[in-house]
A and B are shown apart, each in its own frame.
Chain A
Amino acid sequence: GENVEQHPSTLSVQEGDSAVIKCTYSDSASNYFPWYKQELGKRPQLIIDIRSNVGEKKDQRIAVTLNKTAKHFSLHITETQPEDSAVYFCAVDNTDKLIFGTGTRLQVFP
């Protein structure tokens, strides 16, 4: 079955710096790669997603890049702010469901 690995597990940055989170997957048939943000005690919320027909997608301070050949994709957050502090999960579609990574706890210090 699909295996999704996410790194790092924790990430601390200074406000204004950039943050990068990486995920690798195993099934070359996967075509959809969403990123979810989960604040403590809250529901996961989709922040950006990418499909296999594009290599990069950007939405304001957030971008995702995809390398289908190498089977990895990354989340990039620029000009980080304290409110970006949360746990971020990558996910990959597998048949009719999403397989999630183990999460990255991002802390942005003022």
Chain B
Amino acid sequence: GAGVSQTPSNKVTEKGKYVELRCDPISGHTALYWYRQSLGQGPEFLIYFQGTGAADDSGLPNDRFFAVRPEGSVSTLKIQRTERGDSAVYLCASSLLSRATDTQYFGPGTRLTVL
């Protein structure tokens, strides 16, 4: 079946602009995760959704970052007033059950470049 998809694959923006990154999880997966991966590093946790609610947003770096999942499926990560330090690959993952011990399937990521 279809895996996790993310759009856009690449996003170039200017410092101070607003961006939205979209994630389509595997159909039927209740848990959805956002990670950020900087060059040469492992994925870094940002936020976790269990259904429609954000169960853990402790990884969001500051209040410029916000994510929603209004119908328990598609999720959007929103970044306001982007900064050059926000440049990274933003990865989305989903799992069937809502626990970290369930296999997480990753999307291809969105490469964000802030000029």
Residues of A within 8 A of B33 (CB): 97-98
Main secondary structure of the interface of A (DSSP, over half): strand
**How far, in angstroms, from A13 to B10 measured CA to CA in the complex?**
34
Kindly count the residue-residue contacts between A and B in the assembled complex, taking CB atoms under 8 Å apart. 61
Number of B residues whose C-beta is below 8 Å from A? 26
Q: Is the CB of B106 within 8 A of A96?
A: no
Closest B-chain residue to A31, C-beta based?
B101
Residues of A within 8 A of B44 (CB): 100
Residues of A within 8 A of B50 (CB): 96
Q: Does A42 lie at the interface of the complex (its beta carbon under 8 Å from any beta carbon of B)?
A: yes
Given the contacts A42-B108, A44-B106, A98 and B41 also touching, CB distance less than 8 Å:
no
Residues of B within 8 A of A34 (CB): 103-104
Q: Is the CB of A98 within 8 A of B103?
A: no
Interface residues of A (CB under 8 A from B): 6, 31-32, 34, 36, 42-46, 49, 51, 89, 91, 93-103
